[in-house]
Amino acid sequence: MDMQGVVGVYSKQGACTKSLHVLYGVQHRGQESSGLTAAGDNSLRTWKGKGLASGVFSERFRSFMHPNDYAVIGCASGENADNGFPPVESRHHGRFVFSVALDGYFPREGGTNEEVVARSLHQYLSKGHGFTDALAETMRKHRDAYYSLVACVWDREESVSRLYAARDERGVRPLYVAANDASSYVASESAPIDVLENMGEHFTVRRDVTPGSILCIDDGGIEETQVLEPRRAHCVFEWVYFGRPDSVIEGRTVHAARKALGHALVELHGLRDEYGITEGTPDDLVVIPVPDSGRSVCTGVAEGLGFTADEGVIKNAYMGRTYIIDNPEFRKLASDLKHNVIRETVDGKKVIITDDSIVRGTVSESIAQNLIKAGAREVEFLVSYAPIFHPCFSDPPDKPLAARPYEGKSLEEIGSLISQGLPSINRVRYNDEEHILEAVGLPRDHICTYCVSGRSPFKP
Ligand code: 5GP
Ligand code: MG
């Protein structure tokens, strides 16, 4: 279930700078490496490195920007940097040179996802297909893959650069497009497009890229080709955790969906009665989020309970990611270094703490331990997602999942079994699939809940 942020810009003015502006806005989707490829001036140039875009694209990057680079793609990747990272540039010694980056997964093939796509494109290009055709054929051939893809192409024959975007027929990962007469933008999410608008850009086009379609963008504007009929299976975790709260994915604001998940928890578990809430804020109870992923759900829970949430755990924003650390000992160390508790908020109180998900439970237990040390009487976890039983298609099948052994048991029972395994946590309450789908609010057969339900959109 790993993700990546992708961006694309077509503009005759400052395409590189603009793409960097958008890249900052998708950095939450991957922090291991950052890269851009520019197409123009008879060539393709890629600039990439380990770490955040703000570090990789220093002053030295200026020498990379050419005035005739019109098509630029970029990505913020969670890819282990030692395996090589995207974008992947491909020097086809025919008519086209191109570079690809994607957020998604191609099963059962050698190399990185981008290398699989590049190989397939080569294969069709060398048969004489045009680039759009080669991409369409690649999409038809890989019906079991999912991808939100960007590519920039230098066409040697016509001496023009083009930007491409494509999204798999299920639309598992988000992809957004915005355009005006002068420029077109593609990005994993809508939030960085808002930022451009705030900075003075006006758009006549603003929408999700249709699943199964290709956008070819150049001087002539956007040309759309619907290659495959949409068979929507949007990953539900985009609204639960992956997406920025300020993004709108398929018409649904992520923050609003998360708040609805909070309301759902209150309703599903009858929490007002459970906590004996009559009026106002009870003085022996406090509701706080795990920052930042538990924030929006916390607002929803507080709204549902009828009182204000507080801040009790503060995150050191400079510590980076704890989730991707495999070794549980190091993950606990990283979490301990990253989180501190405001004693005054929690001392002597029953602490209700919200988070989006419990995967292995290490982070939750370490936070709960520190809440107890700061004087919390009890710690109850409210989890906006449901127990996860099935590793996602792109995850190793033996991925450790705390709830996996308990599939088939009731929500209540799973919550109590999980909390038994996490000594500092008195209680864990989850959402169920029904309430999650309702909170997201899209037609339920358009949403993938495989990790919860085991129903795969890839197996009819
Ligand atoms: P764990 O239970 O494994 O110790 O960690 C759970 C935490 O990791 C949650 O707070 C959640 O926000 C975050 N998380 C859950 N799934 C993912 C994922 O697929 N990728 C990343 N980067 N973080 C995740
Ligand atoms: Mg989290």
- Residues near 184 by Cβ (< 8 Å), separated by ≥ 6? 8, 9, 10, 11, 163, 177, 178, 205, 217, 221, 222
CA-based nearest residue to 49, from 63, 35, 36 = 35
Domain 252-445 indexed as CATH 3.40.50.300? no
Ligand 1: which of 4, 27, 79, 241 to mutate, judged by most atoms within 8 Å of the beta carbon?
A: 241
The atom of ligand 1 lying closest to the CA of 293 is: 12
The atom of ligand 1 lying closest to the CA of 361 is: 2
CA-based nearest residue to 22, from 167, 153, 179 = 179
Residue 276, SS3? coil
Q: What does the pLDDT average to over 338-352?
A: 97
* 239 band by pLDDT with thresholds 50, 70 and 90: very high
- Kindly report the length of the chain: 460
The atom of ligand 1 lying closest to the CA of 363 is: 4
Q: What does the pLDDT average to over 337-350?
A: 96
Ligand 1: which of 323, 333, 390 to mutate, judged by most atoms within 8 Å of the beta carbon?
A: 323
Residue 1 has pLDDT above 60, yes or no: no
Taken in order 190, 194, 196, 200, is the CA torsion positive or negative? positive
CA-based nearest residue to 174, from 456, 455, 442, 459 = 442
Asked whether the beta carbons of 442 and 252 are under 8 A apart, the reply is yes
CA-based nearest residue to 448, from 263, 239, 258 = 239
User: Quick one: which ligand is closest to 364's CA?
Assistant: 1
The atom of ligand 1 lying closest to the CA of 358 is: 2
Taken in order 53, 254, 389, 421, is the CA torsion positive or negative? positive
Residues at CB less than 6 angstroms from ligand 1:
1, 241, 290, 293, 321, 323-324, 355-364
Number of Cβ within 10 Å of residue 319's Cβ equals: 12
CA dihedral 339, 344, 348, 354 (to 10 degrees): -40
Higher pLDDT, 279 or 269: 269
CA-based nearest residue to 384, from 407, 421, 353 = 353
Q: What pLDDT shows up at residue 327?
A: 87
Residue 94 has pLDDT above 90, yes or no: no
* 438 band by pLDDT with thresholds 50, 70 and 90: very high
Q: What does the pLDDT average to over 65-86?
A: 87
Rg over alpha carbons for the chain, rounded to the nearest Å, is 23
Asked whether the beta carbons of 354 and 367 are under 8 A apart, the reply is no
Q: Is 223 left (phi over 0), alpha (psi -120 to 50) or beta?
A: beta
Asked whether the beta carbons of 83 and 17 are under 8 A apart, the reply is no
User: Quick one: which ligand is closest to 332's CA?
Assistant: 1
- pTM for the complete prediction? 0.96
Asked whether the beta carbons of 70 and 13 are under 8 A apart, the reply is no
The atom of ligand 1 lying closest to the CA of 78 is: 22
- Give the span between the Cα atoms of 181 and 25, in whole angstroms: 23
DSSP state of 387: P
Query: Residues of CATH 3.40.50.2020 domain(s) within the chain?
Result: 252-445
Q: What pLDDT shows up at residue 446?
A: 98
The overall average pLDDT reported for the chain is 94
Residue 283 has pLDDT above 90, yes or no: no
Q: What pLDDT shows up at residue 99?
A: 97
Beta strand 350-355 with 285-289 is parallel
Query: Residues of CATH 3.60.20.10 domain(s) within the chain?
Result: 5-231
Q: What does the pLDDT average to over 59-88?
A: 88
Instruction: Give the model confidence (pLDDT) of 152-203 as tens digits.
Output: 999 999 999 999 999 999 999 999 999 999 999 999 999 999 999 999 999 9
Residue 260 has pLDDT above 70, yes or no: yes
Q: What pLDDT shows up at residue 81?
A: 65
Instruction: Give the model confidence (pLDDT) of 12-52 as tens digits.
Output: 999 999 999 999 999 999 999 999 999 998 889 999 999 99
Q: How far is the CA of 258 from the centre of ligand 1 (A)?
A: 16
Domain 5-231 indexed as CATH 3.40.50.800? no
Q: How far is the CA of 322 from the centre of ligand 1 (A)?
A: 8
Q: How far is the CA of 291 from the centre of ligand 2 (A)?
A: 7
Residue 84 has pLDDT above 80, yes or no: no
Residue 298, SS3? helix
User: Quick one: which ligand is closest to 324's CA?
Assistant: 1
The residue whose CA is least distant from atom 14 of ligand 1 is 323
User: Quick one: which ligand is closest to 362's CA?
Assistant: 1
- Give the span between the Cα atoms of 185 and 203, in whole angstroms: 10
Q: How far is the CA of 301 from the centre of ligand 2 (A)?
A: 17
Q: What pLDDT shows up at residue 320?
A: 77
The atom of ligand 1 lying closest to the CA of 241 is: 12
Q: How far is the CA of 363 from the centre of ligand 2 (A)?
A: 8
User: Quick one: which ligand is closest to 238's CA?
Assistant: 1
Ligand 1: which of 32, 359, 382 to mutate, judged by most atoms within 8 Å of the beta carbon?
A: 359
Q: How far is the CA of 222 from the centre of ligand 2 (A)?
A: 38
| Longest pairwise C-alpha distance within the chain | 74
- The helix (H) or strand (E) run that includes residue 22 is helix 15-24
Residue 9 has pLDDT above 70, yes or no: yes
Residue 28, SS3? helix
- Give the span between the Cα atoms of 401 and 117, in whole angstroms: 31
Residue 80 has pLDDT above 70, yes or no: no
Q: How far is the CA of 286 from the centre of ligand 1 (A)?
A: 23
Q: How far is the CA of 456 from the centre of ligand 2 (A)?
A: 25
Q: How far is the CA of 113 from the centre of ligand 2 (A)?
A: 26
Q: What does the pLDDT average to over 249-259?
A: 98
The residue whose CA is least distant from atom 19 of ligand 1 is 1
